[in-house]
Amino acid sequence: MKHLIDAKVLTPEYVGALISSAEDILNNPSKYRESCKGKILATLFYEPSTRTRLSFESAMIGLGGSVLGFSSAEMSSASKGESVADTIRVISCYADIAAIRHHKEGSALAASIYSNIPVINAGDGGHQHPTQTLTDLITIHKFKNKLDGLTIGLCGDLKFGRTVHSLIHAMSKYKNNSFLLVSPDELRIPDYLREEMTAGGVSFTETEDLSSSICDMDILYMTRVQRERFFNEEDYVRLKDSYILNKQKLSLAKADLAVMHPLPRVNEIAAEIDNDPRAVYFEQARLGRYIRMALIMDLLGI
Ligand code: NCD
């Protein structure tokens, strides 16, 4: 049984195969219209989501499969106190594959242990979000035509931003990538990740200043300050607008920078740059559907 829980399993070989498959689906959608006929995807979302849940559902429908699920903890038996372990045991009787999002770190891993069907981690607390990383990788591949030898700026909430943690794991596996980690001191990457990067010989620099580091970046991955993971509102309010990418800051960047964002954005990217050719975040969201189609097929062994 194959699951996707942790971005650590996203080796260059596996990612390369998924990107090729996604590109083929993108170019020949009719070839895949019945690939998952008769199969059911369950989306178990205990936390809010727009893109991730709907792109999973759209992916499965595009492959001829069906979807069922819930989009908040209140709408599931979690509100009655049911454990994730029991829920997934039951869902295994109703569906062929499940995508789960939960506020607790480790919940997708726990679900996979009790599941009889493939489980996909669609975000576990502030920990990981490997399918957003697949979305990010296909986007970088599209705009840079490679996944190595890049300077990747990650800016914003690097402490709680699970997409950041998964992206660092995956991009560290390619040769000659280096990271520019831009955040307020309180929102720096977690210690365990810094230790892993140091132990793995991954090149990275931590800074609080976006304006002085943007000129070196090939990719700028902006992130939202993760309000829901803060212990108090005052800290959130103080930190939420630490970085706002606007025309003036973008004028300091390379002409071929790719500005990415997992979305939703709040204030961290000014709408005035949406039409700049370097702003690729909506294309990034579009590509997420195709890489998820490739992933679903792979995990179902189709
Ligand atoms: C991200 C998430 O849920 O972690 N969104 C997404 O899946 N596209 C980023 C975020 O919520 O800020």
Q: Is any ligand 1 atom within 6 A of the Cβ of residue 123?
A: yes
Residues 153 and 269 in one domain: yes
Residues 151 and 120 in one domain: no
- Partnered with residue 220 across adjacent β-strands are 153, 259
- C-beta pairs of 188-195 under 8 Å, 24+ apart in sequence: 188/158, 188/159, 189/158, 189/159, 189/164, 189/165, 190/159, 190/165, 193/165, 193/168
Tokens of 10: 């996203």
Domain membership of residue 96 as a residue range: 7-130+288-299
Q: Is any ligand 1 atom within 6 A of the Cβ of residue 224?
A: yes
pLDDT at 262: 98
| Separation of CA 31 and ligand 1 centre (Å) | 31
- For this structure, is 129 an active site residue? yes
- For this structure, is 141 an active site residue? no
- For this structure, is 165 an active site residue? no
Place 138 in a pLDDT band, splitting at 50, 70 and 90.
very high
pLDDT at 76: 84
pLDDT at 79: 81
- Partnered with residue 152 across adjacent β-strands are 179, 219
Residues 136 and 150 in one domain: yes
Residues 196 and 248 in one domain: yes
CATH value at residue 113: 3.40.50.1370
Half-sphere exposure of 101 (CA within 13 A, CB side): 26
Residues 135 and 278 in one domain: yes
Question: What are the tens digits of pLDDT across the range 40-85?
Answer: 999 999 998 999 999 999 999 999 999 999 999 888 888 888 899 9
Q: Is any ligand 1 atom within 6 A of the Cβ of residue 263?
A: yes
pLDDT at 74: 85
Pick from 72-76, 171-175, 180-184, 274-278: least confident: 72-76
| Sequential DSSP letters for 141-179 | HHHHS-SSS-EEEEES-TTT-HHHHHHHHHHTTSTT-EE
pLDDT at 272: 98
pLDDT at 81: 86
Residues 118 and 231 in one domain: no
Q: Of the residues 51, 159, 173, 289, which is catalytic?
A: 51
pLDDT higher than 90, residue 286: yes
Q: Which atom of ligand 1 is nearest to the CA of 263?
A: 8
Do 247 and 293 meet the contact criterion of CB atoms below 8 Å apart? no
Cis preceding-peptide flag for 264 (omega within 30 of 0): yes
pLDDT at 53: 96
Q: Is residue 156 situated within a structural domain?
A: yes
pLDDT at 184: 96
Q: Is any ligand 1 atom within 6 A of the Cβ of residue 133?
A: no
CA distance 62 to 145: 26
Average pLDDT over residues 222-247: 93
Q: Is residue 229 situated within a structural domain?
A: yes
Give the Cβ contact number of residue 248 at 10 Å. Answer: 11
| Separation of CA 1 and ligand 1 centre (Å) | 27
Cα radius of gyration (the chain): 19
| Separation of CA 290 and ligand 1 centre (Å) | 18
Q: What one-character DSSP code corresponds to residue 279?
A: B
Question: What are the tens digits of pLDDT across the range 17-30?
Answer: 999 999 999 999 99
Beta 151-155 vs 178-182: how paired, if at all? parallel
Residues 88 and 189 in one domain: no
Average pLDDT over residues 105-126: 97
pLDDT at 80: 85
* Number of domains within the chain: 2
pLDDT at 40: 98
Question: pTM above the 0.75 mark?
Answer: yes
pLDDT at 243: 95
Tokens of 52: 């991730």
pLDDT at 77: 83
Q: Is residue 140 situated within a structural domain?
A: yes
Residues 166 and 72 in one domain: no
Q: Is residue 165 situated within a structural domain?
A: yes
Report the nearest-CA residue for atom 8 of ligand 1.
262
CA distance 5 to 101: 11
pLDDT higher than 90, residue 112: yes
Residues 253 and 186 in one domain: yes
Pick from 75-89, 153-167, 170-184: least confident: 75-89
Determine the residue of 129, 155, 292 to mutate for testing ligand 1's pocket, defined as the one with the most ligand atoms within 8 A of the Cβ atom.
129
Positive or negative: CA dihedral 23, 25, 26, 28? positive
| Separation of CA 232 and ligand 1 centre (Å) | 20
| Separation of CA 155 and ligand 1 centre (Å) | 14
Q: Is any ligand 1 atom within 6 A of the Cβ of residue 52?
A: yes
Residues 26 and 111 in one domain: yes
Residues 114 and 258 in one domain: no
Do 105 and 126 meet the contact criterion of CB atoms below 8 Å apart? yes
Half-sphere exposure of 184 (CA within 13 A, CB side): 16
Q: Is residue 107 situated within a structural domain?
A: yes
pLDDT higher than 90, residue 258: yes
Q: Is residue 1 situated within a structural domain?
A: no
Residues 94 and 148 in one domain: no
Report the nearest-CA residue for atom 12 of ligand 1.
224
Q: Is residue 2 situated within a structural domain?
A: no
Contacts of 134 (CB under 8 A, 6+ apart): 10, 15, 18, 288, 291, 292, 295
| Separation of CA 51 and ligand 1 centre (Å) | 8
Q: Is residue 23 situated within a structural domain?
A: yes
Q: Which atom of ligand 1 is nearest to the CA of 161?
A: 4
User: 83, 117, 123: which is closest to 100 by C-alpha?
Assistant: 123
pLDDT at 122: 98
